[in-house]
């Protein structure tokens, strides 16, 4: 269990490291004039949902970022992932096809909502870059504005999965949407645990993005 601790952020405000959902942290990041998100995930389904919430905040003029830049790492589509898979028939390809379909819909939706913000002149500078990596995600990582990453392992579980034509099968899958993840915050101490986590996670993302992702 991750212990919650209060530390000082780089902006001088009191900050918190601990377990929390993705939504509040994304909401805080979008309150800044420039928003940067580096994301490593299985499908981008959660991110799409939360950015749509922020898009509505922008439309109602609750927030007004001038720049949104998103870089996202997703697994190569043809990669043989260990999950999801049918519990009773590992050769059944339908759970993995379902996962690929979710990823395609989510990335297309995310691209659409960000591009719409740009076209409607709500955010002057918007970019979305997606690269594919030959790594099977064992965790998801969200690096927000260079100071506050969220990190969480994918918990493997057994659960029913709905396929086409209302068919349901028992599958080995992972918990993603709605799961709590650890939030780390960078502070002024270069040797603090929070700063070390932020810097090491950013270095990891940049190395995969530059060297093995396409």
What's residue 177's pLDDT? 59
Q: What is the mean pLDDT of residues 15-38?
A: 82
- Computed over every residue of the chain, the mean pLDDT equals 86
pLDDT, tens digit, 9 for 90 and up, residues 162-185: 887 778 899 999 876 556 688 888
Domains of the chain: 18-211 (3.30.870)
Q: Taking 60 as the threshold, does the pLDDT of residue 4 lie above it?
A: no
Q: Are the beta carbons of 130 and 65 closer than 8 angstroms?
A: no
Query: What is the DSSP code string of 133-196?
Result: ES---SEEEEEETTTEEEEEEPEEEEEEEE-GGG-EEEEEEEE-TT--EEE----S-TTSHHHH
Q: Taking 80 as the threshold, does the pLDDT of residue 3 lie above it?
A: no
Q: Taking 70 as the threshold, does the pLDDT of residue 152 lie above it?
A: yes
Output the pTM of the full model.
0.85
What percentage of the chain exceeds 70 in pLDDT?
88
What's residue 180's pLDDT? 66
Q: What is the mean pLDDT of residues 151-162?
A: 89
pLDDT, tens digit, 9 for 90 and up, residues 5-19: 332 333 333 344 455
**Residue that has been written with the tokens 């995969």 in this structure:** 208
Q: Are the beta carbons of 98 and 109 closer than 8 angstroms?
A: no
What's residue 20's pLDDT? 60
């Amino acid at each position: 269990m991750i212990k919650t601790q209060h530390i000082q952020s780089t902006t001088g405000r009191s900050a918190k490291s601990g377990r929390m959902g993705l939504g509040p942290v994304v909401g805080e990041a979008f309150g800044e004039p420039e928003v940067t998100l580096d994301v490593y995930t299985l499908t981008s389904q959660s991110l799409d949902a939360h950015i749509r919430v922020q898009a509505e905040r922008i439309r109602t003029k609750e927030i007004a970022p001038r720049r949104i830049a998103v870089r996202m790492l997703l697994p190569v589509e043809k990669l043989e992932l260990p999950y999801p898979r049918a519990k009773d028939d590992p050769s059944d390809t339908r759970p993995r096809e379902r996962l690929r379909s979710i990823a395609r819909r989510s990335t297309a939706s995310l691209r659409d909502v960000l591009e719409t913000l740009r076209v409607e002149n709500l955010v002057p500078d918007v970019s979305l870059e997606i690269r594919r990596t030959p790594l099977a995600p064992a965790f998801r990582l969200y690096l927000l504005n260079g100071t506050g990453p969220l990190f969480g392992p994918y918990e493997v579980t057994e659960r029913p999965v709905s396929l086409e034509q209302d068919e349901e099968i028992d599958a080995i899958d992972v918990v993603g949407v709605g799961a709590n993840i650890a939030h780390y915050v960078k502070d002024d101490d270069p040797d603090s645990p929070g700063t070390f986590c932020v810097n090491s996670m950013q270095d990891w993302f940049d190395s995969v993005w530059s060297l093995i992702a396409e």
